Homo-oligomer: A and B are copies of this chain.
Amino acid sequence: MEVITDRVEMNRIVKNHKYKAKTIGFVPTMGFLHEGHLSLVKKAKQDNDITIMSIFVNPTQFGPNEDFETYPRDFERDRRLAENAGVNYLFAPSVDEMYPNEMGNQLSVMKRTNVLCGKSREGHFDGVITVLSKLFHIVIPDKAYFGKKDAQQIAVVEGLVHDYFFPIEIVAVETVREKDGLAKSSRNVYLSVDERREAPALYKSLELAKNVILNGEKSPAKIREKIKEYIQKNTSGIIDYIEIYSYPALEPIANIHGKVIIALAVKFSKARLIDNIIMELEQ
């Protein structure tokens, strides 16, 4: 595995592979890798000749009061994990390399941004699509891999690719979970022992909601109430949101039908965790 920090060199390497008709799979990450990321690499390796992972904690997708400074980082560990997983190139640019100058053009998400994490994290998805546009032009992937845990991110990125005709296929990969159901996340390390014990309640509340729906409940409000009760009873976390929307449009629905996402975010003392399930009901 080669570690590349220069965007021009990364782009030159990719172009050389393209000239040899090699396909490129891309796994963009913010590092502090876990099995979720490695499952994306596994899929990318199955589908493509060359697998490139990026590690870049992107400042423009963090708000002023968020955890950019304290976001967990361990490059040596990440390098080892990426190499063992079979990544061919690890692209790890500096902030200056990705944002060399004040930008004169702005990319903004107009749809799907006023809900879920977009509501509580203002500007977050503008930062996500800005950095992904840059990364997509450097890495020129045929396919890019994202975890379903970040379901809103996948919807937003698919919107970006669709709007601007990026010649890239977005591949959504199942959320990897701990044995007790907690979704793998780089931020899980910031849970206290007690919080870690409580955290599986997030996914359990979503499974509970799923059963309630399968038993015929159609009211989003009632389902949200049940999730809320379960989380408040079983955790010390503070609920940021519990929402139910159509998917991937992320629009409000009066009653449960078609493809829906049930998503939540809960703040613990040092970590804000998110999780979701997507269900497709018969019309």
Interface residues of A, Cβ cutoff 8 Å to B: 7, 11, 15, 18-21, 101, 103-112, 129, 133-134, 137-138, 140, 159-160, 162-167
Contact = CB atoms under 8 A, between A and B. Distances in A.
Contacts of A109: 104-105
Contacts of A110: 103-106
B103 A163 contact: yes
A105 B105 contact: no
Given A21-B19, A133-B164, A137-B166, A159 B105 contact: yes
Contact of A104 (B103, B159, B165): B159
13 contacts: A18-B19, A19-B19, A104-B110, A104-B112, A104-B163, A105-B107, A105-B108, A105-B110, A105-B129, A105-B163, A108-B108, A133-B164, A137-B165
Contacts of A166: 137
A157 to B, nearest CB: 10
Chain copies in the assembly?
2
A163 B159 CA distance: 20
Top 10 A-B residue pairs of the complex, sorted by shortest distance between their CB atoms: A104-B111, A19-B21, A104-B159, A137-B165, A103-B163, A105-B163, A106-B108, A133-B164, A134-B165, A137-B166
A226 to B, nearest CB: 31
Most chain B beta-carbon neighbours within 10 Å: one of A103, A107, A140, A165: A165
Nearest to A126: B105
Contacts of A7: 165
A106 B107 CA distance: 6
B137 A167 contact: yes
A131 to B, nearest CB: 10
A184 B23 CA distance: 43
Nearest to A113: B104
A106 B106 CA distance: 8
Contact of A107 (B11, B107, B159): B107
Nearest to A105: B163
Contacts of A138: 165, 167
B105 A164 contact: yes
Most chain B beta-carbon neighbours within 10 Å: one of A19, A103, A167: A167
A134 to B, nearest CB: 5
A61 to B, nearest CB: 15
